[in-house]
Amino acid sequence: MDIQEVLQWTDEQVFVKTGKHIDSLQSSILKEVWEGEKYHKIAKKCNRSEDHIKQFSRKLWKMLSDVLGEDIKQSNVRSILETQALSNIYNNNGSQIVGYINSHINICGEKRQDAEEAKQRSPSPPDSPQNNARSPIIDLTDAPELPYFYDRTSELSTLKKWIL
């Protein structure tokens, strides 16, 4: 999951419980903490004092703890938000996360769509019954080779969780 998806999910959860949306400073703090930044760097980026960011963050962690029912701190906010957001997707869809992924991108060995069939389909909203029944098929046989593997530890751990 990327930070934008998590921010949207978190904002929805906060709004349901409090009736208020996450403001821009709260969003900035979440983004920066998600990226592993420390409070002094967040303060510089947000043009605020470090003490202001710390106090504001404490209120943010308290609010998120109340909303999500877990003790949230700077050190664990990413893992808790990721876990809860994924868990929410899993529980609300009533299917496995793999099904969630495949509903957006199908990389299975199904037959390719005819070009004619693709032209006849009209665009529809992502959550419409048409799109839920039929997912796009992506042919990866022409994909470029990836000779270098960069450190993607967090992505690998997410994939392992999804698979298990």
- How confident is the model over 11-30, as pLDDT tens digits? 999 999 999 999 999 999 99
- Nearest-angstrom CA–CA distance, 82 and 24: 20
* Cα–Cα distance measured from residue 136 to residue 50, given in angstroms and rounded to the nearest whole number: 47
**Mean pLDDT score, 75-87:** 84
Q: Is the pLDDT of residue 72 over 70?
A: yes
Q: Is the pLDDT of residue 10 over 80?
A: yes
Residue 110 has pLDDT above 50, yes or no: no
Q: Residue 104: what pLDDT?
A: 47
Q: How confident is the model at residue 135 (pLDDT cuts 50, 70, 90)?
A: low
Mean pLDDT of 60-80: 90
